[in-house]
Structure 1
Amino acid sequence: MSNPIESTPPSNPTFQEIGLLPEVIKVVEHLGYKMPTPIQSSSIPVALKRKDIIGIAQTGSGKTAAFLLPMLNHLLNTNERKRDFFCIVVEPTRELAAQVIEVLDRMAEALPGLVSCLLVGGMDEMKQAVLLAKKPNVIVCTPGRLVYHINNTKGVSQSLQKTRFLVIDEADKLLDMDFAADIDKLIESVPKQRTTMLFSATMSSRVEKLQRASLVHPVKIKQSEQKYSTVDTLRQEYLFIPFKYRDGYLMAILQKVGAQSAIIFTMKCSGNTRLVLMLRQLGYEAIPLNGKMSQQKRLLALEKFKSGKRSLLVATDVASRGLDIPDVDFVINYDCPVEPKDYIHRVGRTARAGKSGMAITIVTQYSLEFYQRIETMIEKKLDEYKVEEQVAMSYVNRCSEAMRVVNQILKDEASKEKERIKDKNKGNADEED
């Protein structure tokens, strides 16, 4: 495959000037979009010419519409008998896939007859097979679940030969999650004569390899020349404190933030659970979002946060990629991310679509090296976030007591689970006798 052709964005075109069909313009108006974002104005005209695209864009850039709108244009220009299995959208996580389906459902309100199907883990395979039998126009999936249906559901492999539009979103994340083999299988299962759009927040050697394998004479569209960049409307600050006082300073930050919406990021699921329980002990209605939660619970947590029923979401990095949560005022890095690109993805949850936002990173003696690496990569020295030491220290003992209660709760739950497993095993042994 040849090297990608660079493309520069045109100057402020409207959606009408981009070349979308009148029916698609109605969808745009229904969604409330006013003007195309840079990634949309750059990529949509190229995709309308059926050229392959590799898009490098920061989070919150409007990527979803950048691939769905030209796809709709092509779909409407296709004979109705050839519209089933027309487009495959591949996402790294269930949440991102569900988010794309939400946008498609809203599009269908303005475009009756548009049928989409969600294929992700954690949901019944037979029900998904029934949905596939209804011949959807668009399939939004995680790689593993679509490969499952290719291998096990009658007719899917043949139906994918009708696919004319393939979107590989968050390619760097897909490869980080070891989906390479599933993506290879998927690419083998769709026709070579297709339009492919590949989006990634960063351009690694693995993404370049995937691009060479899946795209033909692609046009490369870069929203930003900087390898690691954040938007101008994002205010970024840090707080350097001893690790043992971290919880007290977090409480002081939350007191200062008040009732505004915030996402607090933790590194691990175990730490995520402990922090949520501690915050609840201290009177905050925090909700968790981590990889150990069931699909249903994760979607419910997101819905509560997006609807404003809860203003405090404590998340692991599963939530930091591409989730469309329009009104997040603050991002707080309780655990400083190890990798600069994870920092970019986390703070990208605020200051989206031109809005302002703030990211506060708590740095301790154990994470100073990680923080210095972040500053180097984003080529920016962050200001210090000001918190009154007296206020923070007044919370330290309360946090310690709350965490003591949390540890006892978790210990009791572990004991109950151990007893439950013991009783279950005993019951199975009795049945065998």
Structure 2
Amino acid sequence: MPSMSLLKGLGTALWKARMSIPAKLAILKVAWRARAAKKKAAGKDGAKKDAGKKQKARKDKDNNNNKLAAADKELQKPASRKQQQGNSFDALMAVGDAAAAEEADMGAWVELNLSTRILSAIAKLGFAKPTLIQEKTIPEILAGEDVIGKAQTGSGKTLAFGIPIVEKWLELYEERRNVKREGPTAVVLSPTRELAKQLSDHIKALCDGLPTAPYVCTVTGGLSIHKQQRQLEKADIVIATPGRLWEVLDGDMSLQNSFTKIKFLVVDEADRLFKAGQFKEAEDIIGALDRKDPDAEDDDDDEELPPRQTLVFSATFDKNLQSKLAVRGKAPKAGAGSSDEEKMEYLMKSLKFRSEPKFIDVNPASQMASGLKEGLIECGAMEKDLYLYTVLVLNPNKRTLVFTNSISAVRRLAPLLQNLGLSVLPLHSQMIQKARLRSIERFAASRNSILVATDVAARGLDIKEVDQVLHYHVPRQADTYIHRSGRTARGDRSGVSVILCSPEEVLPTRRLAGKVHAERDGSTSLKREHFIETLLIDRKIAQRLKPRVDLAKRIADAVLAKEKGHSEDQWLRNAAEELGVDYDSEEFDGSAPGNWGGRGGGRKKKEKEARQLSKAEMGALRAQLREELSKRVNLGVSEKYITGGRVDIGALLREKEQGTVGGLFLGGDGLFGMNL
């Protein structure tokens, strides 16, 4: 009969052996069954020979049979089902289920000194080896270090901190079952609801592969606060936006006390917190975790603080941040006039690292993905609608993200493009939570969908196979451009990032791109500046599409004006009723002659004219637009494309004869030659 130590040695050897997973499992299964048969026989013989030891033998037999039954049952389970508590070889069995007769080399993960349960869960996720940020940070976190991690988007930052957190929970509560739970093990702060949900989904996916798993609770706005309060009472890992988490914690001292015992505080996309308007709430939360009033003067640097590890991750950080934190005793208060760098430094100082943090930067020299192709399109400020539509028409059947700098632009562009027959979804921070999640899910599910969004979609969202990012508005900052463009060209895929620029924006945009791509040598001097390419669109093409865009714009503007007018009218009517005065819409909206002067007068006049369109006029506009969209637009082929050999003339003529180009007579090989 093989002993337990012999079985463990066999398991270790098989783990490193170069053979298929089924072969490894077959050997283990035979060994376990041989041990089981011998134990069972020994148990029976002992019971017959020594009646006094009958009870002990029966107990041993039952225990071993239970273990063997669980092990044998695990071998027969489909990959999608969770494991029961089993033996030390459960990880190998899980790999066999998940791989389904395919070889899985987990050697790279084994070197990180992870438990077999975590290795099993990772194997079920299909990750053969850790990413660079995971390889560098996981050992440091497991060793108890505070970490500041910098890695480009799509590099696996979530599991870089998620794996050590779950590993710690298993060590605390799963191995030592008699330990009483004292509150959450970790708190993860996220700047947006969408990123919080994504972080939660990724960590839950890791936990799904475990026999017993921590309870992951997501705390964001737009959901029931009472339900979230109940969930927090039993939560092991809390993933939250700072605003809602502080709303739940504020005033609940019992809950705050349980949070002071956390083992990990994680801040994801830290440089976004203050830009998202959540800086003050994050500061309040950190003060509560440290049992300290955040508004109090911080004169005692030697005060005793609750033990915890602090982990900070983002794609963009100042490389000198670590040295600044080490040199300065404490950072100045970050007021309204502070720069982004000062606010970031202050936030880092507020985190109260228990030791000097390890700064781990795995970004390549260029912060942009290697598979990303960039360009700009020069057009008039009032022509952006037309050129946006032209780009989408010339490059169809691509999953596209359109970024704007304002919510009002999203509200206007989404219906405008929908009127033009495109599959468009909106996303901005003033949408209700269910609508926001629905837009993301539909965008991810449809291959040719278009998501028009504010920068709420620029951070962290991992939507697979986004082919192109179009910047309707020029990004205000370099890091915003990095995060927006990071939604495409993720992993080993390629992608396109195109900025629509008015003539006066071209030079600042080129400077912004140069700043993003700047590489620094040891003397911190800038190397040759990156030059972003100007993409040419034949203006004749845009002009032929202009009539339909103008019609779609008139319809969208009229609908928005009517909705806005109705909302304002209702508000004014209610206010007048409460004040006990007569309501006169003409008087309140200032529509009398001569009242259209001053700033915004022209816009108000256009809105009033749009609101006054009758149903018949709206119907006529829609009929005219349908007729325009049904027409075949012969865009022709520019001579320079033909001479350049970029058009298959024979194929183009065949498509024209067969009418298979969807109403557009087009040629070419992708968006301005930028093949995806």
- Provide the residue aligned with 1:58 in structure 2: 152
Q: Matches of 2:190 and 2:173 in 1, distance apart? A: 27
Matches within 5 A, 1:86-235: 86-111=185-210, 112-133=212-233, 135-153=234-252, 155-190=254-289, 192-200=306-314, 201-203=316-318, 204-214=341-351, 215=353, 216-224=355-363, 226=365, 229-235=367-373
Alignment check: 8 A CA contact 2:187 2:266 kept: yes
Deviation at 1:352, TM superposition (A): 1.0
- Provide the residue aligned with 2:21 in structure 1: none
Q: TM-score, normalised by structure 1?
A: 0.90
Ranges of 4+ aligned residues in structure 1 off by more than 6 Å: 426-430
Deviation at 1:273, TM superposition (A): 1.2
1:324-358 residue CA offsets vs partner (Å, 9 max, x unmatched): 11210110111111211111110000011222111
1:184-210 residue CA offsets vs partner (Å, 9 max, x unmatched): 222233363111111132223433333
1:26 corresponds, among 120, 140, 145, to 120
* Number of residue equivalences: 417
- Provide the residue aligned with 1:253 in structure 2: 391
Alignment check: 8 A CA contact 2:397 2:448 kept: no
Q: Matches of 2:112 and 2:538 in 1, distance apart? A: 52
Deviation at 1:13, TM superposition (A): 7.8
Alignment check: 8 A CA contact 1:175 1:206 kept: yes
Partner SS for 2:382: helix
**After the TM superposition, which of the residue ranges 54-63 and 376-385 deviates more from structure 2?**
376-385
Q: Matches of 1:13 and 1:333 in 2, distance apart? A: 42
Partner SS for 1:296: helix
Partner SS for 2:564: helix
Partner SS for 2:555: helix
Higher RCO (CA 8 Å, separation ≥ 6 residues): 1
Q: Matches of 1:245 and 1:160 in 2, distance apart? A: 53
Q: Matches of 1:181 and 1:247 in 2, distance apart? A: 37
Q: Matches of 1:145 and 1:219 in 2, distance apart? A: 30
Deviation at 1:97, TM superposition (A): 0.7
Is 1:413 the equivalent of 2:536?
Answer: no
Distance change >3 Å, CA 59–CA 116, structure 1 → 2: same
- Provide the residue aligned with 1:262 in structure 2: 400
1:339 corresponds, among 477, 481, 488, to 477
Alignment check: 8 A CA contact 1:287 1:314 kept: yes
Alignment check: 8 A CA contact 2:261 2:307 kept: no
Partner SS for 1:176: coil
Q: TM-score, normalised by structure 2?
A: 0.59
Is 1:299 the equivalent of 2:437?
Answer: yes
Alignment check: 8 A CA contact 1:31 1:107 kept: yes
Deviation at 1:418, TM superposition (A): 2.9
Q: Matches of 1:83 and 1:391 in 2, distance apart? A: 66
**After the TM superposition, which of the residue ranges 155-164 and 208-217 deviates more from structure 2?**
208-217
- Provide the residue aligned with 1:8 in structure 2: none
- Provide the residue aligned with 1:277 in structure 2: 415
Alignment check: 8 A CA contact 1:44 1:67 kept: yes
Matches within 5 A, 1:364-403: 364-379=502-517, 380-403=530-553
Q: Matches of 1:64 and 1:368 in 2, distance apart? A: 36
Deviation at 1:389, TM superposition (A): 2.8
Deviation at 1:422, TM superposition (A): 4.7
Alignment check: 8 A CA contact 2:216 2:238 kept: yes
Deviation at 1:318, TM superposition (A): 1.0
Q: Matches of 1:427 and 1:220 in 2, distance apart? A: 61
Q: Matches of 1:271 and 1:105 in 2, distance apart? A: 35
Alignment check: 8 A CA contact 1:54 1:211 kept: no
Larger relative strand fraction: 1
Deviation at 1:116, TM superposition (A): 0.9
Q: Matches of 1:426 and 1:243 in 2, distance apart? A: 40
Alignment check: 8 A CA contact 2:479 2:516 kept: no
Q: Matches of 1:254 and 1:178 in 2, distance apart? A: 33
Partner SS for 1:110: coil
Q: Matches of 2:182 and 2:111 in 1, distance apart? A: 26
Deviation at 1:424, TM superposition (A): 4.6
Q: Matches of 1:268 and 1:82 in 2, distance apart? A: 45
Q: Matches of 1:268 and 1:144 in 2, distance apart? A: 21
Letter in 2 for 1:256: L
Deviation at 1:85, TM superposition (A): 0.4
- Aligned alpha-carbon RMSD (Å): 2.2
Letter in 1 for 2:538: E
1:79 corresponds, among 148, 151, 173, to 173
Percent identity, please: 30
Partner SS for 2:172: coil
Distance change >3 Å, CA 173–CA 418, structure 1 → 2: same
1:297-316 residue CA offsets vs partner (Å, 9 max, x unmatched): 11111111122276110011
Alignment check: 8 A CA contact 1:94 1:120 kept: yes
Distance change >3 Å, CA 83–CA 72, structure 1 → 2: farther
Q: Matches of 2:182 and 2:152 in 1, distance apart? A: 32
Is 1:41 the equivalent of 2:135?
Answer: yes
1:373-420 residue CA offsets vs partner (Å, 9 max, x unmatched): 212202321223343332222112221221111111111112222343
Alignment check: 8 A CA contact 2:399 2:447 kept: no
User: Please, which runs of 5 or more residues in structure 2 have no aligned partner?
Assistant: 1-105, 175-179, 290-304, 319-340, 518-529, 581-676
Alignment check: 8 A CA contact 2:396 2:448 kept: no
- Provide the residue aligned with 1:9 in structure 2: none
**After the TM superposition, which of the residue ranges 140-149 and 241-250 deviates more from structure 2?**
241-250
Alignment check: 8 A CA contact 1:13 1:41 kept: no
Matches within 5 A, 1:4-23: 14-23=108-117
Partner SS for 1:291: coil
